[in-house]
Structure 1
Amino acid sequence: MQPETELALADIIRKARAPLSIIGGGTRLRPGEGQADRLRTTALRGITLYEPEALILVVRAGTPLADVQAALKAEGQMLGFEPDARPGSTIGGVVAANASGPRRVQVGACRDALIGVRFVTGDGQIVKNGGRVMKNVTGYDLSKLMAGSRGTLGVLTELSFRTTPIAPVSQTLSLPGLDATAAIAALTSALTGPYEISGAAWLPGHGAILRLEGLERSVSIRRKALSARLAEFGELTEGDPQAWLLLHPNIHSDGDLWRIICRPGEAPALIASLPHVVAVDWGGALIHALVPAGTQPALPKFSGHATRISGDTQVILPAPDPVTARLNAELQGRFDPRAILQGAG
């Protein structure tokens, strides 16, 4: 099923008698998602409003992410939260997953750039929330709620974003040779100073990498000050700008990929407990790791959560506490009383 209008989409959902898998490009599906009858949003495409001077973009959910990025780049702008451009990815799938890249440490996540949504609930009602201006605080902020809901609360049809100008200068800097413990300490030192870091990560074999962006003179001054701040960790050298692409790991066939969210101070102990760390982003707050297929990592106690994002079944550690589980169930019951909507990507 591939409706071409929002009204047609709402009609399909109202008449559905069995669960539907909400699919954009299908590039961000997790284990267990996409198993029901597929309802594709890719015909709901196109930019409906773009005002570069106001930093406002309104776009239909099925629009390819690559098309959105190309339109913004032509005006010297971008999606500041830096979603990874997987082939076939749609902007609706990006929002459904709250997909956010390295620049999250500076500008926030996808939900922070989202200022308005239109979506269809599980009983076929069309809902509009937010608007086309950045100062919109009236009523409930459903935009934030929909980001990361993975299609379980409603089917996104149109999205409004705050865009970000592309910085004239971008420098990737490296502290090579650091292990995880030293790298997290260095990244924390950098992020807690006045350096306006727009990327802070650790890659096995590469060491710590940092990114500075802005006007040329500003970048130069901040780099000099940052070098002095991090002198105890080694010399801050030129890094590979392409290294940031390695922070978006592909699904591997030789193991299950896990995504771990934690406090940066907890990262070294978590990394030490994992058999193979692929990448660490957000100054230590995001870890991607491979574990043997079908197994679960033996993680020390920590304050976040770990999610298996490849493999046969989705697993979340630790399991949600009873109060959180009840609140989530009640919320889903409000938006999708018939339990029709089954995941998105």
Structure 2
Amino acid sequence: MRSADNVDTSALLLEQVNQALQYATPLRIQGANSKAFLGRSVPGEVLDTRGHRGIVSYDPTELVITARCGTPLMELAQVLDKAGQMLACEPPSFGAATVGGMVASGLSGPRRPWSGSLRDFVLGTRVITGHGKHLRFGGEVMKNVAGYDLSRLMAGSYGALGVITEVSLKVLPKPRQSLSISLELDTARALLRLAEWGRQPLPISAACHDGQRLHLRLEGGEGSVMAAHERLGGERLDASFWTRLNEHQLSFFDEGQPLWRLSLPNNTPELELPGEQLIDWGGAQRWLKSDAEASFIRTVVTEVGGHATCYSHGLVDSPFQPLPEALMRYQRSLKQQLDPRGIFNPGRLYAEL
């Protein structure tokens, strides 16, 4: 199938990029700007991708959909829902996200530890590079050629490597049965149970602890879901909880103290940090609201092998965890190869890029 507004406007984006290259004008790439709070402020002329939208191709039997960068994520989700399919990594929309912004930010939702990250579902992309060329990377099949995967490299690049104009994504059927439950457990016991259950064939697809209760989502065949519920017990939980968690609509995310995202190794115990914490991804992702110094938060998180991202815009100069010099050299080299004049979202990830 193809969408009704299937008009290729990539030539206009390419023209704007080439004009920027001619005059060395920095470009601030954005769709709906729903994730402007993430990363550093970017100077330059706005390159708005929302006009380049539409479903290019979708065959539910192939489990692949191709869409242009300006396509609203909610529109894509609706098309998939009609066919009983979904983006299994549950990327948040934050109200108005576009497909291009979804890939550029690389964010995934509650199902991520069990289904994989957004990067794992990117099969191919079309990208305007800093050489003024419109190139295609990857393809539209699940078995791709061997070699360095530039398509997936775009996931989480925050527009620093080029303008994503089109993306092909692997999709999956929706689970036949889904049930959410809530159990009264303190944080320490909840983390121990999650570690234990992670070694067992339980159909868990989301796990969040709010400080008092452990919330679980069970998905799969009806028999396995009902058997798991009977074994684990707990009260039934409204399934909308996971959407509210993913979209930062829970009361925990109300404005107040600065918000941090902590990415941690599996089975990390409770962290001794001031403030309020919300555990997601079965313990691998934790949200922290704290007035503590950034250096202190990052020291504690780094000591257990994790990293911390500040979700409160303008609070720190480096919202993303600073990289070791060796990794930064690789980042600078990659930026030089794909964006030699440094016009794409300069400084969004790091001041050095």
| Common fold by TM > 0.5 | yes
Equivalent pair of 1:260/1:288 in contact (CA under 8 Å)? yes
Equivalent pair of 1:256/1:311 in contact (CA under 8 Å)? no
Give the one of 249, 254, 257 matched to 1:255. Answer: 257
Aligned residue number for residue 339 of structure 1: 342
Change (3 A) 1:191 1:21: same
- Does the alignment pair 1:208 with 2:214? yes
Change (3 A) 1:302 1:293: closer
Give the one of 221, 227, 238 matched to 1:221. Answer: 227
- Does the alignment pair 1:66 with 2:77? no
Cα drift, residue 167 of structure 1: 1.4
- Does the alignment pair 1:244 with 2:251? no
Which whole-Å CA distance do the structure 2 matches of 1:35 and 1:202 have between them? 39
Which consecutive unaligned segments of at least 5 residues does structure 2 have? 1-6
Change (3 A) 1:171 1:242: same
- Aligned-partner SS, 2:267: helix
Cα drift, residue 19 of structure 1: 1.1
Equivalent pair of 1:34/1:342 in contact (CA under 8 Å)? yes
Identity %: 34
1:79-90 correspondence to structure 2 within 5 Å: 79-90=87-98
- Count of equivalent residues: 330
Equivalent pair of 1:22/1:34 in contact (CA under 8 Å)? no
- Does the alignment pair 1:147 with 2:155? yes
Which whole-Å CA distance do the structure 2 matches of 1:212 and 1:287 have between them? 21
The residue identity in structure 1 corresponding to 2:309 is T
Q: Structure 1 residues 61-70 or 318-327, which shifts more?
A: 318-327
Equivalent pair of 2:208/2:215 in contact (CA under 8 Å)? yes
Equivalent pair of 1:105/1:200 in contact (CA under 8 Å)? no
- Aligned-partner SS, 2:47: strand
Aligned residue number for residue 47 of structure 1: 55
Equivalent pair of 2:311/2:319 in contact (CA under 8 Å)? no
Which whole-Å CA distance do the structure 2 matches of 1:185 and 1:179 have between them? 10
Give the one of 9, 31, 35 matched to 1:28. Answer: 35
Cα drift, residue 189 of structure 1: 1.7
Which whole-Å CA distance do the structure 2 matches of 1:274 and 1:293 have between them? 7
Cα drift, residue 256 of structure 1: 1.8
The residue identity in structure 2 corresponding to 1:184 is L
Change (3 A) 1:78 1:330: same
The CA RMSD measured in Å over matched residues stands at 2.3
- Aligned-partner SS, 2:345: strand
Aligned residue number for residue 292 of structure 1: 291
- Does the alignment pair 1:12 with 2:16? yes
Cα drift, residue 143 of structure 1: 1.6
Aligned residue number for residue 193 of structure 1: 200
Aligned residue number for residue 232 of structure 1: none
- Does the alignment pair 1:326 with 2:326? no
Cα drift, residue 218 of structure 1: 2.5
Change (3 A) 1:314 1:224: farther
The residue identity in structure 2 corresponding to 1:274 is P
The residue identity in structure 2 corresponding to 1:100 is S
Which consecutive unaligned segments of at least 5 residues does structure 1 have? 228-234
Cα drift, residue 124 of structure 1: 1.6
Cα drift, residue 314 of structure 1: 4.6
